[in-house]
Chains A and B, each alone.
Chain A
Amino acid sequence: DTGVSQDPRHKITKRGQNVTFRCDPISEHNRLYWYRQTLGQGPEFLTYFQNEAQLEKSRLLSDRFSAERPKGSFSTLEIQRTEQGDSAMYLCASGTAYEQYFGPGTRLTVT
């Protein structure tokens, strides 16, 4: 499968725990994006990378959130001290600014 992959697909964690998600983009894509989607809403932009450089971060990305893309390949999104409000689908996408290919997402449930 040459599409965008994300791991894990589902994560249940207790409030206060740290979680880390991984995204593997389509190999030839320089840009990698993270979005968050809650029920009944469209995806909301969190951050994006051009190769290994993180070029923009949304105000939604509080200091508990950190994203990295070492070597410009896969990316990780870490959430520290999770809160119930962090429960959502976390989507990764790669591509251009306009044509983005999304992964299947990681569904996070904070109990």
Chain B
Amino acid sequence: RKEVEQDPGPFNVPEGATVAFNCTYSNSASQSFFWYRQDCRKEPKLLMSVYSSGNEDGRFTAQLNRASQYISLLIRDSKLSDSATYLCVVPPGFQKLVFGTGTRLLVSP
């Protein structure tokens, strides 16, 4: 089983739609969780951290379910500029990041 698994998509949604991505992880000892965003042919950039209580940043909401070992990212009112690959990141400790394969989102007019 991979350490971090994501549905690769692509998710095709119209502008204004709400879309959610899930990510499952295998290391039950992981304490921190993140979502990174990667635009086509660009480097990954930190989008948001995922706190145990869940957190919200504008149109983006991240949730953590430790019992089921999955995290989610919800995007409301999708914009064309949200089109990108969303990478789930679950560090196994305090040294490095472990990325999922990424979920590709395409928002169309």
Contacts and interface: CB of A to CB of B under 8 A. Distances in A.
User: Do A and B actually bind?
Assistant: yes
Interface of A: 33, 35, 40-45, 48, 55-56, 91, 97-100, 102-105
Interface of B: 4, 8, 32, 34, 42-46, 49, 87, 91, 93-102
Contacts of A97: 91, 93-97
A99 B93 CA distance: 13
A97 B97 CA distance: 7
A79 to B, nearest CB: 20
A99 B98 CA distance: 12
A33 B42 contact: no
A100 B43 contact: no
A97 B91 CA distance: 8
A48 B100 contact: no
Given A102-B45, A105-B43, 8 more contacts: A41-B102, A43-B99, A56-B96, A97-B95, A98-B91, A98-B97, A102-B44, A104-B42
6 contacts: A97-B91, A97-B93, A97-B97, A98-B49, A102-B43, A102-B45
Contacts of B44: 43, 91, 102
Q: Tell me what chain B mostly uses at the interface: helix, strand, loop, or mixed.
A: loop
A105 B45 CA distance: 13
Which residue, of B43, B44, B46, B102, has the highest number of chain A Cβ atoms within 10 A?
B43
A42 B102 contact: yes
A40 B46 contact: no
A42 B43 contact: no
B11 to A, nearest CB: 15
A4 B52 CA distance: 30
A100 B95 contact: no
B99 A98 contact: no
Interface centre among B34, B45, B46, B101 (most CB of A within 10 A): B46
A43 B85 CA distance: 12
A49 to B, nearest CB: 11
Contacts of A42: 4, 87, 99-102
Nearest to B96: A45
